[in-house]
């Protein structure tokens, strides 16, 4: 529904600029800070999000007697077809002592007004939300690093892994290596990453590290 509005130069306020490949969109995505990049990782790996667009829309809204123009950081469409617009900010920018406080206040007010008038959900994400579980975020980055190896998974590897789990129930990655000796560890991890990404398998990534000890099982959806 939207196309990204491109900005030249470095990220906002001199932040790092990231160009990353999105398997969900099958295109490159440009992100304007480390925090936006971490947020994208969570969006990309969230099975409840169907699609998204970075820097999707510029709006102009009257706020406190003047017209404020602003670009949202992201638009997402959930699998239930609802839509949300998202703004990414560091939490200290909402403190009155911050030098950009007034700009941030006016910008987010304009965005909130526009979303309210157009009946969209408006979400502000800070590092307190995005980085609240650093282990989970690290695991999602690991999954995406394996997915980047190829544009499509090796389906025969995925099939053998799913068959093993169907026959034996919950297994660790190390057990899968032992049961499937013809498949290298890197290919097993790559296939597992694709199966996690496609929501065919699950693991407790909030508490356990992606590695040989992680226990994997079919998702609730698969079990039904």
**Is the CATH number 1.10.10.60 carried by domain 134-223?**
no
Coil, helix or strand for 114? helix
State the Cα–Cα distance between residues 221 and 205, nearest whole angstrom: 18
Per-residue pLDDT at 10:
54
Q: CB of 203 within 8 A of CB of 214?
A: yes
pLDDT tens digits, 21-45: 999 999 999 999 999 999 999 999 9
Per-residue pLDDT at 150:
83
Q: CB of 10 within 8 A of CB of 18?
A: no
* Exposure string for 190-212, b = 16+ CB within 10 A, e = fewer: bbbbbbbbeebbbbebeeeebee
What are the boundaries of each domain within the chain? 12-130, 134-223
Residue 224 has pLDDT above 70, yes or no: no
pLDDT tens digits, 48-105: 999 999 999 999 999 999 999 999 999 999 999 999 999 999 999 999 999 999 999 9
Q: CB of 15 within 8 A of CB of 34?
A: yes
Per-residue pLDDT at 53:
98
State the Cα–Cα distance between residues 202 and 190, nearest whole angstrom: 14
pLDDT tens digits, 133-176: 999 999 999 999 999 888 889 999 999 999 999 999 899 999 99
**Is the CATH number 3.40.50.10540 carried by domain 12-130?**
no
């Amino acid at each position: 529904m939207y196309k990204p509005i491109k900005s030249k130069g470095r990220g906002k306020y001199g932040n790092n600029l990231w160009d990353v490949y999105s398997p969900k969109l099958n295109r490159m995505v440009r992100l304007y800070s480390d925090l936006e990049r971490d947020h994208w990782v969570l969006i990309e790996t969230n099975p409840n999000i169907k699609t998204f667009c970075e820097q999707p829309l510029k709006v102009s809204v009257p706020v406190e007697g003047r017209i404020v123009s602003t670009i949202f950081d992201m638009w997402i469409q959930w699998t239930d077809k609802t839509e949300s617009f998202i703004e990414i900010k560091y939490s200290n920018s909402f403190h009155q002592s911050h030098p950009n406080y007034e700009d941030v206040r006016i910008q987010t007010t304009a965005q909130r007004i526009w979303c309210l008038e157009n009946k969209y959900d408006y979400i502000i994400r800070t590092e307190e939300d995005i980085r609240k579980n650093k282990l989970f975020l690290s695991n999602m980055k690991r999954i995406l690093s394996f997915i980047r190896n190829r544009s499509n998974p090796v389906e025969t590897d995925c099939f053998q892994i799913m068959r093993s789990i169907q026959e034996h129930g919950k297994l660790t990655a190390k057990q899968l290596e032992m049961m499937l000796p013809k498949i290298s560890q890197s290919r097993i991890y790559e296939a597992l990453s694709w199966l996690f990404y496609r929501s065919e398998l699950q693991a407790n990534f909030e508490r356990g590290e992606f590695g040989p000890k992680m226990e994997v099982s079919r998702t609730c959806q698969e079990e039904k």
